[in-house]
Structure 1
Amino acid sequence: MSTPIRVIQYGLGPIGSAVARHITERSSLKLVGGVDIDPAKTGRDMDEVVGLEQPLGFKVAKTLAEALANAEADVVLHTTSSCFDLFESQITEILNAGLDVVSTAEELSFPWLAHPKEAARIDEAAKKAGKTALGTGVNPGFLMDSLPLNLTAICQRVDRIDVTRSQNASVRRGPFQAKIGSGMTVEQFENKVDTGRMGHVGLPESMGMVFHTLGRKLARYEDSIEPVVADSLIQTDFFTVQPGQVRGLKQVARGFTDAGEFMTLTFIAALEEPLDQDTVKISGKPDLEVILKGTNGDIATVAMAVNAIKRVKEASPGLVTMPDLPIVTFG
Structure 2
Amino acid sequence: MTTAVLFGVGAMGGRLLRVLEADYPSIEIVAAIDTDAAKIGRTLADVTGYQRFGGVKIVGDLVTALADLPKRPDVLVHMTESKPHLIKEQLLAALNTGLNVVSAAESMFYPGLRYGEFAEALDSAARANGVSITGTGINPGFSYDVLPLVLARGTSAVTRLTIRRCIDVTGTGPGDIEHVGYGLTPEEFNRRIADGRVEGHMGAPESLTRIADALNLEIDEITEAWDLETADFEVDSGDPTLGVLPPGRVIGITQRARALHQGSEVISTSLAMYYQPEKFNLVEEDRIEIEGAMPVMMSIKPAMQSLFGAANIMANTIVPLAAAEPGLVSPLDLPTGGTVRGVARYAVDPSRQAKPGYLPVSRKV
> Do 1:311 and 1:328's aligned partners in 2 also have CA atoms closer than 8 Å?
no
> Do 2:21 and 2:50's aligned partners in 1 also have CA atoms closer than 8 Å?
no
The match for 1:293 is: 301
How many Å apart are 1:145 and its aligned residue?
Answer: 0.7
How many Å apart are 1:211 and its aligned residue?
Answer: 1.9
Range with greater deviation from structure 2 (189-198 or 295-304): 189-198
In the alignment, residue 93 of structure 2 is paired with which amino acid? E
The match for 1:66 is: 64
The CA deviation string for residues 109-143 of structure 1, in whole angstroms up to 9 with x for no partner, is: 01121112211111111111111111000000000
The match for 1:212 is: 213
* CA distance in 1 between partners of 2:53 and 2:137 (Å): 28
The match for 2:124 is: 124
Scaled by the length of structure 2, the TM-score of the pair is: 0.83
1:246 is aligned to 2:247: no
* CA distance in 1 between partners of 2:244 and 2:294 (Å): 44
> Do 2:107 and 2:203's aligned partners in 1 also have CA atoms closer than 8 Å?
yes
User: Which of the residues 5, 11, 14 maps onto 2:11?
Assistant: 14
Secondary structure at the aligned position of 2:162 is classed as strand
The CA deviation string for residues 174-219 of structure 1, in whole angstroms up to 9 with x for no partner, is: 6467765445332122122123232111112212221222234541
- Superposed counterparts of 1:154-173, under 5 Å: 154-169=154-169, 171-173=170-172
The match for 1:281 is: 289
* CA distance in 2 between partners of 1:195 and 1:263 (Å): 26
> When the two structures are aligned, how many residues end up with a matched partner?
325
* CA distance in 1 between partners of 2:18 and 2:31 (Å): 12
Decide whether aligned partners of structure 1 residues 116 and 106 sit closer, same or farther in structure 2, where only a CA change above 3 A counts.
Answer: same
> Do 2:235 and 2:251's aligned partners in 1 also have CA atoms closer than 8 Å?
no
1:84 is aligned to 2:89: no
- Whose Rg is larger? 2
- Superposed counterparts of 1:259-270, under 5 Å: 260-270=264-274
The match for 2:29 is: 31
Scaled by the length of structure 1, the TM-score of the pair is: 0.91
Secondary structure at the aligned position of 1:205 is classed as helix
Secondary structure at the aligned position of 2:228 is classed as strand
Secondary structure at the aligned position of 2:322 is classed as helix
Decide whether aligned partners of structure 1 residues 181 and 129 sit closer, same or farther in structure 2, where only a CA change above 3 A counts.
Answer: closer
Where does structure 1 lack aligned partners over 5 or more consecutive residues? none
Decide whether aligned partners of structure 1 residues 298 and 80 sit closer, same or farther in structure 2, where only a CA change above 3 A counts.
Answer: same
Q: Percent identity?
A: 30
The match for 1:52 is: 50
- Superposed counterparts of 1:104-115, under 5 Å: 104-115=104-115
The CA deviation string for residues 138-184 of structure 1, in whole angstroms up to 9 with x for no partner, is: 00000011111111101121000111111234x44464677654453
Range with greater deviation from structure 2 (210-219 or 128-137): 210-219
The CA deviation string for residues 275-296 of structure 1, in whole angstroms up to 9 with x for no partner, is: 2111111111111111112311
How many Å apart are 1:245 and its aligned residue?
Answer: 4.3
